[in-house]
């Protein structure tokens, strides 16, 4: 059983008319259907690969599968909406056919893609790396869709976010940004909001580890915290290896994130994240 903390976070999310209780931290598995993502680009192209990888993530403990079709690695060139939709539609049909009872999230910053995923294919969550900055009508659409909405902090865009990220005091700056966006969403009637500090998105290695150290500060919002640390450069550059070799480092930073208040781990490697989660929860409650 998970212990309560000083902060009383919102523990329920509405998924496709079902109420999901976020009693303990959970794992969100990543399904990238892109040819050019920094780690798993091109690994989920065939129907066979998609089915196998989703089955594996579910069996290893993923509660939600996050599906994306646009690479947002640093310096990536963003494809247009038509290309994003063209990549997603065949995947959506496969997921709807083989995994009708699985909870899926759509990783997109475009309202028309979010609308299609939710209304036509039954997706239950929207994960927006830009928190509405790259589509100024996204907040209004989320208010209409009434699905859980992850707002992530990003300074700049994927094309330029790592050129020269500058903050006054990084954690305070991001808290201020989230405060404004959460207030706007609530005014529109959006109830299920989650926040992601955006590790690696417009941040130096020092910024990332400062955020990780101060992650518990985001508990002040009393809403779920999502972290996406999986195999990122803040890990592999520090320990001087590659994304392919960064699994151990990922498990370490995921463990730190869980100890500091993370509620959802967004990962490529579900088995290892689930094991970290189980160990941390036992440690915290023994």
The reply to whether 186 belongs to the active site is no
Catalytic residue among 232, 237, 278, 284: 232
3-state SS assignment for residue 107: strand
HSE toward the beta carbon, residue 21, CA cutoff 13 A: 2
- Which DSSP string corresponds to 128-172? ETTTTSSSTTHHHHHHHHT--EEEE--SS-TTTTTS----SSHHH
Task: Tell me phi and psi for residue 122, to 5 degrees.
Answer: 75, 20
Structure tokens at 153: 């902090």
The reply to whether 232 belongs to the active site is yes
Close Cβ partners of 253 (under 8 Å, ≥ 6 residues apart): 212, 229, 234, 235
State how far the Cα of 138 lies from the Cα of 245, in Å rounded to an integer.
36
Among candidates 276, 253, 120, which has minimal Cα distance to 199?
A: 253
Catalytic residue among 266, 271, 278, 284: 266
Catalogue the E-assigned strands of the chain.
Answer: 12-15, 18-21, 26-32, 62-68, 103-107, 125-128, 149-152, 193-196, 226-227, 264-267
Q: What is the H or E stretch that residue 199 is in?
A: none
Among candidates 105, 84, 112, which has minimal Cα distance to 266?
A: 105
Structure tokens at 202: 């417009």
Active site amino acids: 232, 266
């Amino acid at each position: 059983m998970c212990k309560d903390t000083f902060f009383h976070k919102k523990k329920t999310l509405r998924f496709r008319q079902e109420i999901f209780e976020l009693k303990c931290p959970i794992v969100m598995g990543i399904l990238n259907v892109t040819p050019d993502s920094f780690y798993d680009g091109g690994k989920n192209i065939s129907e066979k690969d998609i089915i196998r990888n989703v089955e594996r993530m579910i069996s290893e403990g993923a509660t939600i599968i996050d599906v994306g079709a646009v690479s947002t690695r640093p310096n990536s060139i963003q494809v247009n909406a038509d290309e994003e939709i063209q990549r997603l539609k065949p995947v959506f049909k496969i997921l709807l056919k083989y995994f009708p009872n699985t909870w899926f999230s759509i990783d997109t910053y475009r309202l028309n893609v979010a609308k299609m995923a939710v209304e036509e294919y039954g997706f239950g969550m929207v994960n927006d790396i830009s928190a509405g900055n790259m589509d100024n009508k996204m907040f209004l659409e989320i208010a209409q869709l009434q699905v859980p909405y992850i707002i992530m902090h990003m300074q700049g865009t994927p094309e330029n976010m790592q050129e020269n990220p500058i903050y006054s005091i990084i954690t305070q700056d991001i808290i201020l940004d989230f405060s404004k966006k959460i207030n706007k969403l609530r005014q529109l009637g959006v109830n299920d909001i989650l926040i992601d500090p955006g590790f690696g998105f417009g941040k130096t290695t020092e910024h990332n580890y400062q955020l990780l150290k101060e992650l518990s500060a985001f508990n002040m919002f009393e809403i779920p915290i999502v972290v996406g640390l999986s195999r990122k450069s803040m890990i592999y550059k520090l320990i001087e290896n590659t994304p392919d070799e960064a699994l151990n480092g990922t498990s370490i930073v995921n463990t730190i994130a869980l100890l500091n208040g993370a509620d959802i781990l967004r990962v490529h490697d579900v088995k290892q994240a689930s094991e970290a989660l189980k160990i941390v929860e036992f440690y915290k409650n023994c």
